[in-house]
C-alpha cells in the first residue's frame, strides 16, 4: 500500500498516453454531433482498475473527456465501459451523471446484477451493454449468460454493443443473430483493410448488416485498422486512407445504421497515438455529403441514445 492506502497502478509497459494537444479540426461538425464511442479511465485513485483487467492504462478522467468534447466541437458523448474496469461501472456512470444529460453510457454487466441495479444504471444514462469477444481484452463469458443478460436489458429499450475480430464472425453469427435487441458492432467488425473491398471477410460483415436490420456499425477506429497511417501523412491529404473505402462503403450502404466515435483515450495502441482533431477530419472522407454527416453524427446516435429528444 502507498501512504494514502489507495491502490497504485503502473501503466502497461509501452503504454501510449492520449494526445495532450490535439488540433482543432478543419472539418466543422454539424450542431448536436455525438462522439458515440469513447471511454473514461479512472482516475485510478478514485475508481481503481479491475483485478481481472488485461492492461493498465493512464488515467483519462471525465473532465478531460469533456474538455476534448468541447475542443473538437461535439455536443455529446456515448461513454463505453472499458475492459480495464471490468464490470465495475462506477467511473463510466459517474461521468454520465456529471455530463448532465450530455452523455449516455454502455455498461458491462454480469448475470448477478439485480433489477434494481439495472434500473439505477438506466437512471444514470446507460442505454446498452457491451459483449466483448476480443480475447486479448477479456476472459470468455458463457453465451448462455450473455443471452440471459440480453433478455433482461431488452425491456429497458437498451441495445447490445459487440466487439469482435473479423475472423470470429462466422463462429459468432448464430449467437449474434439470436440477440433480441438492436446490435451495434464496434469498428466495422475490424476488417483487414489490406484486402480488397470484396474480400469474403468484409462481404460477410456486409451481409450481416444487410440481412439483419437490427444491426448497426460504428465506422470508427481508422487508427486501429490502418496500415497506411499516420504517422506517414507527408504529401497524403487523406488520413488513414486505406480505411476510407471500407468505412465509406458502410456509411453509403447503411446510412441510417452507422455511428462514429473518437475512441478516446485510445487504449492499447502500439505504434502511434492519433491526434483527435485529425480523426475528426477523417469524417468527410467516409461521409462525403452534409446529409450523410448529419445522419452519422446526429440523427442516428440521437435515435439510439436520446430517442425521447427526437422531434
Residues engaged in binding ligand 0GY (CB under 6 A): 82-84, 137, 186, 263, 267-268
Q: Which residue has 464490470 as its cell numbers?
A: 87
Toward ligand 0GY, which CB reaches closer, 82 or 91?
Answer: 82
Closer to ligand 0GY by CB, 108 or 293: give it.
108
Torsion sign (Cα): 193, 196, 201, 205: positive
CA distance 235 to 245: 19
Contact 275, 289 (CB under 8 A): no
Of the listed 35, 263, 276, 281, which one is catalytic? 263
By beta-carbon proximity to ligand 0GY, the closer residue of 82 and 109 is 82
What is 176-225 written as a DSSP string?
A: HHT-SS-EEEGGGG---TTS-TT-HHHHHHHHHHHH-TTEEEE---HHHH
Spacing of C-alpha 194 from chain mean position: 22
Q: Return the number of the residue (272 or 294) whose C-beta is nearest ligand 0GY.
A: 272
Across-strand partners of 78? 104
263 catalytic residue (yes or no): yes
How many other CB atoms sit within 10 Å of the CB of residue 262? Answer: 27
Cβ at position 32, least distance to ligand 0GY in Å: 23
Closest CA to 276 of 17, 54, 79: 17
User: Measured from the CB of residue 38, what is the shortest distance to ligand 0GY in angstroms?
Assistant: 8
CB 185 within 8 A of CB 218: yes
Q: Please, what is the minimum distance in Å from the beta carbon of residue 132 to ligand 0GY?
A: 7
Instruction: Closer to ligand 0GY by CB, 78 or 82: give it.
Output: 82
Cβ of residue 187: shortest distance to ligand 0GY, in angstroms?
6
Q: Where are the beta strands (DSSP E) in 117-158?
A: 126-132
Q: How far is the CB of 54 from ligand 0GY (least distance, A)?
A: 8
Q: Could you list the active site residues?
A: 263
Amino acid at each position: 500500500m502507498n501512504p494514502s492506502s489507495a491502490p497504485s497502478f503502473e501503466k502497461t509497459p509501452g503504454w501510449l498516453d492520449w494526445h495532450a494537444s490535439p488540433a482543432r479540426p478543419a472539418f466543422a461538425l454539424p450542431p448536436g454531433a455525438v462522439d458515440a464511442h469513447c471511454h473514461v479511465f479512472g482516475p485510478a485513485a478514485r475508481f481503481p482498475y479491475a483485478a481481472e483487467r488485461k492492461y493498465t492504462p493512464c488515467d483519462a478522467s471525465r473532465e478531460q473527456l469533456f474538455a476534448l468534447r468541447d475542443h473538437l466541437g461535439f455536443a455529446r458523448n456515448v461513454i463505453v465501459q472499458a475492459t480495464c474496469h471490468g464490470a465495475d461501472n462506477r467511473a463510466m456512470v459517474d461521468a454520465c451523471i456529471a455530463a448532465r444529460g450530455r452523455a449516455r453510457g454502455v455498461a458491462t454487466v454480469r448475470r448477478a446484477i439485480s433489477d434494481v441495479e439495472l434500473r439505477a444504471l438506466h437512471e444514470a444514462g446507460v442505454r446498452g451493454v457491451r459483449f466483448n469477444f476480443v480475447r486479448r481484452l477479456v476472459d470468455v463469458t458463457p453465451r448462455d449468460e450473455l443471452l440471459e443478460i440480453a433478455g433482461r436489458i431488452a425491456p429497458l429499450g437498451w441495445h447490445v454493443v459487440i466487439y469482435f475480430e473479423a475472423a470470429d464472425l462466422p463462429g459468432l453469427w448464430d449467437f449474434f443473430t439470436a440477440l433480441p435487441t438492436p446490435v451495434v458492432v464496434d469498428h466495422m467488425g475490424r476488417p483487414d483493410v489490406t484486402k480488397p473491398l470484396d474480400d469474403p471477410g468484409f462481404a460477410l460483415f456486409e451481409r450481416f448488416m444487410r440481412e439483419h436490420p437490427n444491426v448497426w456499425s460504428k465506422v470508427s477506429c481508422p487508427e486501429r485498422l490502418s496500415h497506411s497511417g499516420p504517422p506517414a501523412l507527408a504529401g497524403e491529404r487523406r488520413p488513414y486512407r486505406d480505411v476510407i473505402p471500407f468505412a465509406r462503403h458502410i456509411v453509403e450502404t447503411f446510412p441510417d445504421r452507422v455511428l462514429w466515435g473518437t475512441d478516446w483515450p485510445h487504449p492499447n495502441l502500439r505504434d502511434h497515438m492519433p491526434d483527435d482533431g485529425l480523426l475528426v477530419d477523417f469524417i468527410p472522407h467516409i461521409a462525403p455529403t452534409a446529409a450523410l454527416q448529419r445522419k452519422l453524427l446526429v440523427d442516428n446516435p440521437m435515435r439510439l441514445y436520446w430517442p425521447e429528444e427526437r422531434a
